[in-house]
Structure 1
């Protein structure tokens, strides 16, 4: 089976320069592809061309760049990035545009400098590519790069491909390896049910309550610090505008970039804490070896439309929790049951099965009218 390993790397100054250049080229190609298709789609809306002509596929755009653009004197810098990384970026842009073309999503966003997650794709073409040692690995075009975590990626393993990415001022490598995964032979316990929410992250049928980590002092302190740093950044932008007016566009950004990195670091820290909490929660559930796990099919996009709850819902990362739980269940051969989103789990008594029609959202305790059982609303669900 294929398994991914992601870790931080310590590239040299020369390697950093090459990574930054390649990321910039891939970002430019992604935006150019979307720009071309945006023009074609406008022509289709005006009735100038047919719907088939309103989409330029990745292969034709790659040929257009290779045969017409990169030979021009002002676009020779395109060759500084590897051909495979360029082609993969265009394919990613095509996937995003196809979703819009089929009516599955809105028009893809153009990638902004230092604000978008652009990855460099490198396949394994030669024997020396993606060679892994305890403390370093050989990345195509970049050569040997030092790893932060020694021995994390298994040595002498078969690498299929990998990507290099940059977040804030740190560099990461993700490697896809072909390996065998052994499932521990433990006796299966009875199944468990999970009810995720905002008040508490997850209430499990075995009586365990997983708290909402966004209500902890650590997260609140970081969010307070983030607001403070964002205000500083906003003031720097405002002062830059005033100086540009006085000096007629001669003022430089000076310390704005440093302040931007500070803000991005706090954002990344918050993301890491929340992701780590989800990973640990899933690991605890899977380690119990239940015969099945039951979760509700939540309408997260619908919940996000509520302006009072959208921020709290986004912070809980329900979708990420479900995707990772599905993967872990598949890996450990545990059945995952998805309950229909319209099934009235909160209004149905878990003891006698009677249905309580007049249950309100404000009722946090479930009181059954038939068997007189009193349970916490989420635990009953």
Structure 2
């Protein structure tokens, strides 16, 4: 199976200039090709687009500077556009699972920039990566590559940080079956409540950095558009957003890894996060938690390490049902955190009771009286997901 490995890089000043030129050329080729696709009655082939916007454009006065960068990322930019159109049409015809994919959009100069190299346009030498017409760039190898990569994407985020993302082939490693299972109830006050009674607090980085973010955004709003000081203010806002994202992602990776190590079967409730985000009183708190990212990480890691993942129906009354007698006591407001069952007089913590019911609804044989609800086993995440940041087995070193 294929997976992405992402690393931080530190290019020199001349390399930064060369990368900026490369990103600009890839962006222009993408936008020119997309403009033609939007106006054409029939979608042109990749070969026709490459001939028009790369080969012929290099010989023109208006686009002659395309010859100053490597040809490989330009070709990959058009190839990626073809994949984007295919995903859009497959999603429109319901041939693609998951959320509806929108049509390709034009790329902007201020947002995230990227360029992809295939084999022949890059190589790894002496623990540095060589990119065609860029040179050798220093890489911080936070973990070892398990095999030779088939492609690499150079990324510059909005905070002016540079990364390389390798696509490598890995072999799934099945962890020993420990016979443990757990139901997980996601919440706002506590990010996750496990069926065994453990509650996990979320770092809530957006809430902690909100005042700093508001202050930086006010400074940005006062700067003149197009000025150098506005660009510095914009970069400061982007750094704060990147810091918030990194804290949240690190927490989700560590929690998902620990849960997979400790349990053979994980049962989760299917939540419609997009609908819950429409509540203006809870939308900020929900977006600060990253429920969807947590589920996506679990799906990818469970496929990689041979664990069982089950998702119960979102209509299962896990908060209304008593985990002791199985009777439904009616709908309860969100402010009710503890309640007493009217049938068996059992006192329940709302989140712990829901987590137990989620585990029972997963249809596991060891649950109470074998009682199970409506459940479904979701398809595993795409094999090229970046979810596995924390590796269980020690991978072989690419450098020996």
Give SS of 1:138's match. Answer: strand
SS in 2 for 1:158: coil
| Residue pairs, 1:148-159, within 5 angstroms | 148-149=140-141, 152-154=143-145, 157-159=147-149
Match of 1:139 among 121, 125, 131: 131
- Aligned partner of 1:50 in structure 2 is none
Q: CA deviation at 1:78?
A: 2.0
5 Å matches for 1:205-354?
205-214=195-204, 219-237=206-224, 253-288=227-262, 290-354=263-327
Give CA deviations for 1:28-87 in whole Å, capped at 9, x if unaligned.
Answer: 2333333333334xxxxxxxxxxxx35344443223213543321110122333333223
Partner of 1:123: 118
Q: Does the 8 Å contact 1:137/1:145 carry over to 2? A: yes
Question: Which position in structure 1 is the counterpart of 2:150?
Answer: 160
Residue deviations 1:333-373 (CA, integer Å, cap 9, x gap): 10000111222222222222112234333332243221221
1:248-280 deviation per Cα after TM superposition (whole angstroms, max 9, x unaligned): xxxx61322122111111110111001111011
Q: TM-score, normalised by structure 2?
A: 0.78
Greater RCO between the two (CA within 8 Å, min separation 6)?
2
The answer to whether structure 1 residue 173 and structure 2 residue 169 are counterparts is: no
Counterpart Cα distance in 1 of 2:317 and 2:125: 52
Question: Secondary structure in 2 aligned to 1:131?
Answer: strand
Change (3 A) 1:100 1:174: closer
What does residue 194 of structure 1 align with? 184
Cα distance in 2 for partners of 1:98, 1:223 equals: 39
The structure-2 alpha-carbon separation of the partners of 1:327 and 1:221, relative to structure 1 and needing over 3 Å to count, comes to closer
**Partner of residue 72, structure 1:** 60
Superposed, 1:3-18 pairs within 5 Å as 3-18=3-18
C-alpha contact (below 8 Å) 1:130/1:159 kept by paired residues: no
Q: 2:48 & 2:194 partners in 1: Cα distance?
A: 52
CA contact under 8 A between 1:158 and 1:179: conserved in structure 2? no
Structure-2 separation of matches of 1:348 and 1:365: 13
TM-score normalised by length of structure 1? 0.82
Residue in structure 1 matched with residue 31 of structure 2 by the alignment: 31
SS at match of 1:341: coil
Kindly tell me the number of residue pairs found equivalent between the two proteins.
345
Do 1:5 and 1:153's aligned partners in 2 also have CA atoms closer than 8 Å?
Answer: no
Alignment check: 8 A CA contact 2:207 2:288 kept: no
| 1:60–1:307 CA distance, 2 compared to 1 (3 A) | farther
CA contact (8 A) 1:201 1:211 kept: yes
Compared CA separation, residues 179 and 97, structure 1 to 2 (3 A):
closer
Structure 2 contact 116–154 (Cα < 8 Å) conserved:
yes
Q: Deviations over 1:123-174 (max 9, x none)?
A: 1138xx422534x22334433211234x73348x322111111122221111
Contact 1:26–1:118 under 8 Å retained in 2: no
Distance in 2, Cα, partners of 1:57 & 1:316: 42
* Root-mean-square deviation (Å): 2.4
Contact 1:366–1:380 (Cα < 8 Å) also in 2? no
Partner of 2:107: 111
